[in-house]
Amino acid sequence: MYYGKVEISGVNTAKLKVLKESEKTELLKKIKEGDMKAREELINGNLRLVLSVIQRFNGRGENPDDLFQVGVIGLIKAIDNFNLDLQVKFSTYAVPMIIGEVRRYLRDSGTMRISRSLRDLAYKAMQVRERIINETSAEPTIEEIAKELEVKREEVVMALEAVSDPISLYEPVFSESGDTVYVMDQVGDKNNDINWLNEIALKDAIVNLGNREKKILNLRFFQGKTQVEVAEEIGISQAQVSRLEKGALNKIKSQI
């Protein structure tokens, strides 16, 4: 148990309830209808999830009771903002929210220290980004920012991550005509060895898809392109790419 404790913030961690996914879904539906009792039950049923998350911050010398309480705040935010239409497990959405809340607390309390040089690099990178956007009306790549600052790409990434809060991949970026684009849709994966879709299973499943759907999935998950890049390449809007991609993935899920 965390820090060898059985009780944290007055909660007996040895007796924490664990809810089934179906139970979480039912409670979330009730919460959307204004059922506060269901909200309390869902909170209590996910305290073990909070406990598992704050264990990642073991060794920072922070009071576990404080971290647990902060983690619960992140859990509550996840419950209040969760969208059942995402068709994703609640824990998948909640974990980044809890981690973000704890990191925010650690940074604000001074526990998570960022070196002056790293912070300065992050601010310079943000200034370069703003200037390029103002000059070109386009979002610069990390490589462009790094070249301008004459530093390695990895240094820019590390600096920006150090001063930013983590967000869920399922956080909405914008919504237009009923098509919602999430952070996940904006991210390209240049590392084909770490694809979230199993490449072999995907190849077998896409046989029955239309040619445009096949091309979108190939560009997105085998070539690591973002939806913006895919939209430009095949000549349709990003919202259309998002809709076609999600439809194709749903077809694949039904076959795997």
Element (H, E) at 75: helix 64-81
pTM of the model: 0.45
Please give the domain boundaries of the chain with CATH numbers for all domains: 2-109 (1.20.120.1810), 116-162 (1.10.10), 172-255 (1.10.10.10)
pLDDT in tens, 122-173: 888 888 888 888 888 888 888 889 999 998 887 888 777 666 655 555 555 4
pLDDT given at position 112: 52
Instruction: Return all residues near 164 (Cβ < 8 A) that are at least 6 apart.
Output: none
- Biggest alpha carbon–alpha carbon distance for the chain: 58
Report how far residue 248's alpha carbon sits from residue 35's, in angstroms, rounded to the nearest whole number: 35
How far is CA 115 from each of CA 110, 122, 163, 186, rounded to the nearest angstrom? 12, 11, 10, 29
pLDDT in tens, 232-241: 888 888 888 8
Question: What percent of the chain stands above pLDDT 90?
Answer: 5
Q: Give Cα 34 distance to the centre of its chain.
A: 26
pLDDT in tens, 178-223: 555 555 555 555 444 434 444 545 555 666 788 888 888 878 776 7
Report the length, in residues, of the chain. 256
pLDDT in tens, 93-102: 888 888 888 8
Report how far residue 174's alpha carbon sits from residue 176's, in angstroms, rounded to the nearest whole number: 7
Decide if 199 contacts 189 (C-beta within 8 A): no
Q: Give Cα 235 distance to the centre of its chain.
A: 28
Q: Is the pLDDT of residue 37 over 80?
A: yes
pLDDT in tens, 78-87: 898 888 887 7
How far is CA 72 from each of CA 14, 40, 79, 102, 244, rounded to the nearest angstrom? 17, 12, 10, 9, 37
139: DSSP letter: P
Q: Which of 72, 47, 82, 55 is nearest to 168 (CA)?
A: 82
Neighbours of 159 (CB within 10 A): 24
